[in-house]
Chains A and B, each alone.
Chain A
Amino acid sequence: MPNIAVFIEQRDGEAKKVAWQMINHARKITDASGGEVWGVFLGKDAGNNAADAGSWGAHKLFTAIDENLAGYNSELYTTAVASFCSANNPDLVLMGATAMGKDLAPRLAARMDCACVSDSIDVNFDNGFTIRRPVFAGKCYTDVNIKSNTAVVGIRPNSFNLDQPGSDSATAETFDPGIGGVTPKATVAEVKATSGGAIELTEADVIVSGGRGIKEADNYKMIEELAGVLNAGTGASRAIVDAGWVDHSHQVGQTGKTVSPNLYIACGISGAIQHLAGMSSSKCIVAINKDSNAPIFKAATYGIVADLFDVVPALKEAIQSLD
């Protein structure tokens, strides 16, 4: 009868969708095996989270409301979640494999001396938890068994589908985060947003990426324009990041971001193994390249063998004229 705690990440009070995805999935496990799903919320105001967590399947929502927990601080958040765990002994703690979750999970697992599994895509329970996750940026997957009494598991956003919300509400409880005597050794002084409101690649439903085929930095505009009509994030191959044409935050691949959008459009990208590793779990892949032997076509769902300078602007117009 596993009890599963789900850390509900919030920024500026707004919960991340991945929290509801995890609660929804955890509820399927407890419906089959018994046990409860517990939302864990840290912040300065509980807001609507009890109703939301309940509608997605949480039995209880545990909140620690404190001005010092309004924004992320690794040490205070570690102490707060560890306090929750020592009072309630969940069998599993799930959190999003986000910038915050990836920072918090290892510190928490080291504090609790328990298993830590990063960036996972599936969780199953059968007399113990088995976690599936990619390694080598997705060139291979592993199934991991948990041997400690509890475990901290990071879940990649969009790994679980969201069902329709129900009408249940979670029982609201509070807990003592135990941060009274803690002076953090480091603090977040400022959170800056990237100008232009760029769509974060790891959260994007559609990504349009450019590679060396765009020939020069200025032509990346063409990628951005196609992305614009698709409300897509813009990606890049390592080659054009290393050339300084595009910022590293756009790099897709083994030394960049691993992405799995519904649609990935690769423009002028040959498909080096380290790039394919980072995007080949995308649901649909479109390759536009003038070299019919480019390895990207082996990964692609649809391909056009032609000059991207002809195809990309035409595709933008074709998409605009749909409807």
Chain B
Amino acid sequence: MKIAVCVKQVPDSETRINLAEPSAELDRSGFTRVLNPYDAYAVEEAIQIKEKLGDDTEVTAIIIGGEQVMESVKKDCLAVGCDKAIRVTDELDNAEALQIAKVLTAVVKRDGYDLVLCGKQAIDDDDSQVGIMLAELCDMAHVSVVTDLEFDGNNFTATREIEGGSEVVKGATPALFTCQKGLNEPRLPSLPNIMKAGMKPVELLTCADLGIEVPAAHTEITTYIPPAKRGECKIIENEDPAAAAQELAKLLREEAKII
């Protein structure tokens, strides 16, 4: 079985966005970049499937970006068990999801993967789009926000999270899944494996190599806007917790008018 895992490098979740006023640009230069946390579940799931099915299974990590993304690819993909990586080198930083999906589609169609795994969303753009678009453009089944995945030959049973419950979806490969926290526990790379990861093959590609033009955008971000400032916190000063709680309940009822 050929498995692709599509990954992205994103600013760490502890990142602060320093934006004093609305601006046409967002300065991203100081951000610490890590593998998108949801992509780690996709990588882990691919490796677990390979461990179950044996060595005929090959796991390829696919990423789009400059040389700086290779740190995440080596440490969080190759060092934990992906067999190889493909990096598309075109300048597509901050591209919209459909542009990314079109480039990934060219790679997936060229290589013919049976299974494609993605994170359920990237924690910078919060689009939750790329994986599902990729499935559509490759004419594959997809299941999004997956918390459980089982295979019986080519047939899969996937559980996905919905409001107040879950949906159990059945189908057959080729298929794409977007992975949610809870699907598995991503392993950490060992130091020797990080060293060895540098020896695993990494194919560099451009859109031109894939026979496509760099896709055009359908949207344009005109402005980045800081969140509205919140007022001062009103601290309820009362030594007696029960009295403080009563005062709070009264404020929520009479001042905030929300209970």
**A residues apposed to B, CB below 8 Å:** 72, 74-75, 78, 98-100, 102-103, 105-107, 109-111, 113-119, 130, 132, 134-148, 151, 184-194, 197-200, 202-203, 206, 230, 247-249, 251, 253-256, 258, 262-263, 272-274, 277, 280-281, 283-287, 292, 297-307, 310-311, 314-315, 317-319, 322
Taking CB atoms and an 8 Å cut-off, the chain B residues in 219-245 that contact chain A are 219-227, 230-231, 233-236, 241-242, 244-245
- Decide: A110 and B101 in contact? CB cutoff 8 A: yes
Across-interface contacts of A141 in B (CB, < 8 A): 224-227
Across-interface contacts of B166 in A (CB, < 8 A): 191-192, 194
With A106-B136, A273-B14, A322-B253 given, is the CB distance from A203 to B125 under 8 Å?
no
With A142-B221, A188-B167 given, is the CB distance from A119 to B143 under 8 Å?
no
- With both beta carbons as reference points, the residue of chain A lying nearest to B243 in the complex is identified as A314
Taking CB atoms and an 8 Å cut-off, the chain B residues in 78-115 that contact chain A are 96-98, 101
With A110-B136, A140-B17, A263-B259 given, is the CB distance from A74 to B142 under 8 Å?
yes
The 3 A-B residue pairs whose C-beta atoms are closest, nearest first, are A186-B171, A310-B241, A185-B141
**B residues apposed to A, CB below 8 Å:** 11, 13-17, 19, 26, 37-38, 96-98, 101, 123-133, 135-137, 140-145, 147, 157, 160-172, 175, 180-182, 217-227, 230-231, 233-236, 241-242, 244-246, 248-253, 256, 258-259
Could you tell me the dominant secondary structure of chain A's interface residues? Answer: mixed
- Decide: B97 and A106 in contact? CB cutoff 8 A: yes
Across-interface contacts of A192 in B (CB, < 8 A): 165-168
- Decide: B170 and A189 in contact? CB cutoff 8 A: yes
Q: How far is the CA of A111 from the CA of B105 in the complex (A)?
A: 13
**CB contact between B163 and one of A111, A145, A202 (< 8 Å): that residue:** A202
CB distance from B255 to the nearest CB of A (A): 9
- Decide: B231 and A140 in contact? CB cutoff 8 A: no
- Decide: B129 and A145 in contact? CB cutoff 8 A: no
Across-interface contacts of A310 in B (CB, < 8 A): 241-242
